[in-house]
């Protein structure tokens, strides 16, 4: 059984000091690097938004970050402008061992739809191509780490489980935003989908 490490959105804007900072987001970089060194395959995901993306609060008059709106594909949290293509904030954390990655999957580049999952945009039907890549490499087991546990890690893990992959999420190597109970809901949803939540190698 070939295993891949999926490192989700370990980018400057999601780390302390960034536009959409996840508390303690930078504290996982060193232990994630240690996993990267051991992994059979390494895939990094990268949030990659055009300026003026529809998920940005600044794109909607009278709306503030973290407000909810209804989009054609369902409810959408409005975010501060973040991970804009080519910006410093969109770059991976400077200490992340990016050069050891086999593949980088960019997501959220369609201006009309957000993309949390490494596998699908938020309409849950438009694929990123990651599933096909993993299948052609014969990879059937995934270990997920990164940011943020209750959004992009959660959506990626649930989608992967639904696609038939064996999925483990290393909670100790993730950090969460925890927006209005989102962390508890994400944990329950991942477990319901058959995702294994691990605190460490135990």
Among residues 81, 107, 114, 159, which one is catalytic? 107
107 is catalytic: yes
Alpha-carbon distances of 87 from 18, 19, 84, rounded to whole Å:
11, 11, 6
162 is catalytic: no
- Per the structure block, which two tokens stand in for 176? 């969460």
47 is catalytic: no
To 5 degrees, how large is the angle CA 47–CA 48–CA 54? 100
> What are the residues whose beta carbons fall under 8 Å from the beta carbon of 113, sequence distance 6 or more?
54, 71, 73, 121, 122, 123, 126
Give the relative orientation of helices 154-162 and 182-192 as an angle to the nearest 10 degrees.
10
Phi, psi of 144 (to 5 degrees): -115, 140
Among residues 15, 83, 152, 174, which one is catalytic? 152
Cα 3–chain centre separation: 18
Q: Which of the residues are catalytic?
A: 9, 107, 152
């Amino acid at each position: 059984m070939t295993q891949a490490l999926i490192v989700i959105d370990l980018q400057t804007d999601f780390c302390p000091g960034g536009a959409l900072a996840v508390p303690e987001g930078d504290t996982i970089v060193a232990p994630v690097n240690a996993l990267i060194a051991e992994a059979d395959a390494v895939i990094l995901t990268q949030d990659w938004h055009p300026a003026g993306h529809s998920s940005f609060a600044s794109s909607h008059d009278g709306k503030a970050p973290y407000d909810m709106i209804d989009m054609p594909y369902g409810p959408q949290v409005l975010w501060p402008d973040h991970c804009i293509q080519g910006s410093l904030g969109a770059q991976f954390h400077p200490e992340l061992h990016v050069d050891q990655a086999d593949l980088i999957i960019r997501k959220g580049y369609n201006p009309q739809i957000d993309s949390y999952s490494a596998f699908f945009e938020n309409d849950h039907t438009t694929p990123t191509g990651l599933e096909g890549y993993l299948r052609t490499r014969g990879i059937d087991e995934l270990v997920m780490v990164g940011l943020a546990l209750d959004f992009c890690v959660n959506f990626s893990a649930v989608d992967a489980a639904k696609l038939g992959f064996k999925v483990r999420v290393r909670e100790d190597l993730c950090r969460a935003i925890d927006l209005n109970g989102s962390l508890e809901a994400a944990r329950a949803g991942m477990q319901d989908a058959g995702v294994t939540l691990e605190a460490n190698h135990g």
